[in-house]
Structure 1
Amino acid sequence: MNRTLLTGLIITVILIAMSLIGPYLVPYNESKEATVHYSVDANGQGTLVVPPLSPNAEYPLGTDKTGNDLLAKIIAGSRYTILVTIVVAFARTCIGGIAGLFLGYFGKDKIKSARRLPLWNVLNGIPIFIIVWMVMIGISINAVIPPLFLTIMLAVVMTMVGIPSVATTIREKTLVIRDKQFIISARSIGASPMTIIRTHIFPHMKESLIILFVQEIVLILGLMGQLAIFNVFVGGSTMYFDPVEYVSRTNEWTGLIGQARNYLYVYQWILVFPLLAYLLFIFGFHLISVGLESIYKDKFSKVSHL
């Protein structure tokens, strides 16, 4: 295990542990609000305390504009961020990986770009987040559907739009492996396609699938961040009027970032702390991906010795 992989694992394990045991350690829950009160210091100076409160001894990360403890909100929302990204990435990798193995083994060789259907080229150029946004925008804002059900719907949509890219990647790798001599030999002695895929091709794809799984987590986190810019939050958005603002129903990290992006020049901590948690999570999995690639590259590389 190299330092890059170890650092990434430490970061992600700490964040996952925080999401699991954090709610039992913070002094307040995400729904408790700091009230407006009058404070008198030791010198007799009085101050009217009105939320949002900047970071202090009582609220280490401060509060939002309604007085909710920001640390408690980040910890409460971490479960949605972490669980959704891992589950969606796992589903994409499993379904897309299986489809790619069969498409690569039974499919034809690469089709030249000029022979592809124009419609495929057009659809392939549409950003995934636009597709997800168009599906979810109409049902995410001020929805009567429970947040958990909306979260499941969003997870299903993100899984479906990501399967083709995973399947294509695995298919291309399978096309290369199926022409190897040991595959041809197994086929010549009568091994069934299922046996060849299970016992010969899949073992050569395990490392690629693991790296792909980690990379999918990073891509999904990026997709969730893009959706949050357009007010589609995991679990749904509550829209308030006069002034118009959108609030996350689950306190998921990208939702906290999306609803607080207008506070950059006034109450910076409301935006900065959820953004740091989000970026740290991405950075941790990026390090894991780089570390795994380095390990597998060293493992399978052949160096001549004199």
Structure 2
Amino acid sequence: MIKKKNVVLYIGLTLTAALLVIAIFGPVLAPYSLEDNVGIHTEVVNGETKMIVPPIPPFEDINHWLGTDRWGYDVWTMLLFGARYTIFVAFIVAALKVVIGALIGLMMGLRKKQPIWWTTFEEMWGYVPGFLVVYFLLLPITMNPTLSPLTLTSLFVIVMILIGVPSVTSSIREKTIQLKREPFIEASRILGASKWGLIRRHFLPHFRVQFLLLFVLEIVYTLTMMGQLALFNLFVGGTIYQPDSKLYISITKEWAGLIGQARPYLYWGESYLLFVPLCFLVVAILTFHLLAKGLQLHFDHTYKKTRWY
């Protein structure tokens, strides 16, 4: 019997690798610096002298294949510089949420009696709109900030972890309660295994697949949250507001921020400045969706388990 290939997983892994390369080497691969901009100039195209005036649409100038904005800043360069804030922030938030949420969930789940205050908090927190919490906490310090982009990014990571850990904890806690009823867990307890011994020898190996899938799905959630915040002009790493021109500018050039700052260009006839970064962000989100689906199919086939989420 011919083994069916997991095409979804291969595509997801390939695109994930490409995103990581862009995030790691983006500034090195960028053809220009963020300070470089092109002004009005002439070029010889097919033997004819042509005047080039920003904004340059995509594919009209070989030196700026994704175009420039009206101030002459290269779109491809901004995307490459912003990739590290987009991808790495999503990875860090997802990883810390899973690690912290898993540890708390395991410890809570192994308690003999579940604290009423904690289960009540989990239920209550499930109705709290995370977007509003992040927005109103970060808005005062993100708009025309005095803090550095790295500090603002770190604060975004912290806030995202605080609002996301309870949901991860709830999921792991419930699964821990179910698993600790299994006979092999009871046998280990009777033989004198400590709580940390149970976690290290039984729970962590048993949950490793769930942790991996949860990590990928949390990346998707973080990217989606960044996109939602950008619609309200809150960009990761800081937002510069210019009241005279009513423009919001992303300091870090993260992809969601480039989408948010480009909304006025729809009315100025330069819609590509919005749709180009939008395509990159959508591809990133779809990449991790494919990766999660591919991993799920792989583990379902390997362990013959039904989906867990």
Same fold per TM (> 0.5)? yes
Q: Which one of the candidate residues 295, 299, 303 is aligned to 1:296?
A: 299
- The answer to whether the Cα contact below 8 Å between 2:13 and 2:291 also exists between their aligned partners in 1 is yes
Bigger Cα displacement from structure 2, 100-109 vs 165-174: 100-109
Question: Partner of 1:29 in structure 2?
Answer: 33
CA pair 110-215 structure 1, distance change in 2 beyond 3 A = farther
Is the alpha carbon distance of 1:192 and 1:173 closer, same or farther for their aligned partners in structure 2, counting shifts above 3 Å? same
> Matched residues, percent identical?
37
Match of 1:284 in 2: 287
1:141 to 2:143 alignment = yes
Q: Which protein has greater RCO, CA pairs closer than 8 Å, 6+ apart?
A: 1
Give the count of matched residue pairs: 299
RMSD, aligned α-carbons: 2.4
C-alpha spacing 1:109/1:121, structure 2 compared with 1 (3 Å)? closer
Counterpart-to-counterpart distance in 1, 2:39 and 2:207: 57
Task: State the TM-score, normalizing by the size of structure 1.
Answer: 0.90
Q: Which amino acid aligns with 1:3?
A: V
Query: Counterpart in 2 of 1:94?
Result: 99
Structure 1 residue identity aligned to 2:147:
I
Give the drift of 1:160.
1.2
Question: Deviation per CA, 1:223-274, whole angstroms, max 9, x where unpaired?
Answer: 1111111111010000001231110001011100111123236212211111
What is the DSSP-based 3-state SS (H/G/I as helix, E as strand, rest coil) of the residue aligned with 2:31? Answer: coil
Match of 2:8 in 1: 4
* Helix, strand or coil at the partner of 1:106: coil
2:159 matches 1:151: no
**Distance in 2 between residues matched to 1:139 and 1:14, nearest whole Å:** 33
Match in the other structure for 2:234: 232
How many angstroms does 1:126 deviate by?
A: 2.2
Q: What displacement does 1:6 show?
A: 1.1
**Residue identity opposite 1:291 in structure 2:** G
Unaligned runs of 5+ in 2: none
Q: What secondary structure, in the 3-state scheme, does the structure 1 residue paired with 2:248 have?
A: strand
Among 266, 271, 275, which residue is 1:268 paired with? 271
Task: Give the Cα–Cα distance (whole angstroms) in 2 for the partners of residues 46 and 296 of structure 1.
Answer: 58
In the alignment, which residue of structure 2 is the partner of 1:189? 191
| Partner of residue 79, structure 1 | 84
Flag structure 1 segments of 5+ consecutive residues without an equivalent.
Answer: none
Following superposition, the deviation at residue 294 of structure 1 comes to: 1.1
1:104 aligns with 2:106: no
Query: What TM-score does the superposition give when structure 2 sets the normalisation length?
Result: 0.89
**Residue type matched to 1:195 in 2?**
G
